[in-house]
Amino acid sequence: AQTVTQSQPEMSVQEAETVTLSCTYDTSESDYYLFWYKQPPSRQMILVIRQEAYKQQNATENRFSVNFQKAAKSFSLKISDSQLGDAAMYFCAYRSLDHISNFGNEKLTFGTGTRLTIIP
C-alpha cells in the first residue's frame, strides 16, 4: 500500500516571501499521479497542482510550482510571492495509475497535511 508523509504539521511565511512544503511518498509503482490540494477555513478542497510521474518536467501553476524527485520519492510544493489568501491546510495526495480495467479504483491517498500561516 502507498503511504504519503508530510513532515511539517505547521509552517509560516512572511507575506510576499517564498515557502516550500515537503511531501514524501512510498510506492512500488512506476506510474502514478501526485497532487497538492488546499483546504482553506471554508473547508473546500481545492486542487492546486498536479504532476504525472512519467513527466520529468516539474509542474507549475502561476505562483505554485513543484520539485518532483522521482528517485527520492519526493514532491515538494513551492509557493512564491505568498499572499494572505494562501493561508490554508495543504494536502499532498497520491493516486495510482490503474492499468487494469477496474474503473473507479483510483482513490487518493493523502498525507496528514501542513497548516500554512501567512504573516502580514
Partner 1 sequence: DTAVSQTPKYLVTQMGNDKSIKCEQNLGHDTMYWYKQDSKKFLKIMFSYNNKELIINETVPNRFSPKSPDKAHLNLHINSLELGDSAVYFCASSQDRGSRPQHFGDGTRLSIL
Chain residues that interact with partner 1, rule: CB under 8 A: 33, 35, 37, 39, 42-45, 47, 50, 52, 89, 91, 98, 102-110, 112-113
Q: Residue 12: which of 82, 113, 91 has the closest Cα?
A: 82
Of the pair 28, 42, the CB lying nearest partner 1 is at 42
Of the pair 33, 64, the CB lying nearest partner 1 is at 33
Residue 99 CB, shortest distance to partner 1, in Å, is 10
Q: How far apart are CA 106 and CA 64, in angstroms?
A: 25
Of the pair 13, 90, the CB lying nearest partner 1 is at 90
Residue 116 CB, shortest distance to partner 1, in Å, is 13
Radius of gyration of the chain measured on its C-alpha atoms: 14
Residue 6 CB: number of other CB atoms within 10 A? 21
Of the pair 68, 113, the CB lying nearest partner 1 is at 113
Residue 16 CB, shortest distance to partner 1, in Å, is 27
Maximum Cα–Cα distance across the chain = 50
Q: How far apart are CA 1 and CA 26, in angstroms?
A: 8
